[in-house]
Amino acid sequence: MSEASAEIVNVPDLDEVLWQAWKAMELPEGYRAEIIEGAIEVSPTARRTHGLVTNRVRRALDKFLDGGEYACHQDVNVIHNRKAWIPDAIVAPEDTEPCGDEDDMGVRADSVHLVVEVVSPGKRNQDRDRVRKRREYARAGIPVYVIIDDYDGQDAVTLFTGPRPDKADWEDIHRVPYGTEVTIPEGPAKGFVIGETITGPKRG
């Protein structure tokens, strides 16, 4: 084998390069980084209204799950095949120690039963939650994905179930305007209701 051929063989793949770069990142306060569909995406932490809705989700899920082995977590890296995401809220075992990835950077996606994203303003942020993360969470086989979206025309909650990892899509997509309750159909949060107490009332 020629020296040039040996160099090509030893080039690490893009996922590994991104993973190592992501692990080594030192961001200024107020920013976070995720690996989404072959790119590292840096974004600021949430605005006040975003944080308000996210905290309502967390508190309500904590109350719903109280006394069981599952809990709602925030600001936790979810890891899948050298990808890293920071959802606004997840439902996973309360004790995440057995769920850690091999580098102990977060929890493995296969231990996550529910992901919630609260959409932020701006096309890039909206595309991230509605399009890129929608595909990534489906690829990871996460059972339930919920988007709470103030910027969806009529303010909407969208429930995704039945992930199809091979298609990077979902079997069932249920979208309703604020003011209509959405019930989680499966998993530890089965029966949990997302309604006006979390989203606020429909506007306009």
Residue range 161-201, pLDDT digits in tens: 999 999 999 999 999 999 999 999 999 999 999 999 999 88
Check residue 121 and give its pLDDT: 87
Q: What is the pLDDT of residue 127?
A: 95
Q: Report CA 61 to chain centroid distance, whole Å.
A: 16
The residue ranges of every structural domain in the chain are: 47-199
pLDDT for position 183: 98
pLDDT band at 153 (very low <50, low <70, confident <90, very high): confident
Beta-bridge partners for 44: 31
Residue 156 falls in which region: left (phi positive, over 0), alpha (psi -120 to 50) or beta? beta
Q: Write down the residue that tokens 């995401």 correspond to.
A: 85
Q: pLDDT over 70 for what percent of the chain?
A: 93
> What pLDDT score does 204 carry?
58
Confidence check: pLDDT of 106 > 90: yes
Check: CB of residue 92 under 8 Å from CB of residue 162.
Answer: no
Count of residues in the chain? 204
With H, G, I as helix, E, B as strand and everything else as coil, classify residue 10: coil
pLDDT band (50, 70, 90) for residue 122: confident
Nearest residue to 175 (alpha-carbon basis) of 197, 190, 153: 153
Give me the mean pLDDT over the 56-80 stretch.
96
Three-class SS state of 199: helix
* pLDDT tens track for 13-42: 999 999 999 999 999 999 999 999 999 999
- DSSP, residue by residue, 38-83: TEEEEEEPPPHHHHHHHHHHHHHHHHHHTTSSEEEE-S--EEETTE
* Class of 47-199 in CATH: alpha beta
Question: Once rounded to an integer, what is the mean pLDDT over residues 114-142?
Answer: 95
**Confidence (pTM):** 0.91
Terminal alpha carbon distance of the chain: 68
* 96, 72 contact by CB (below 8 A): no
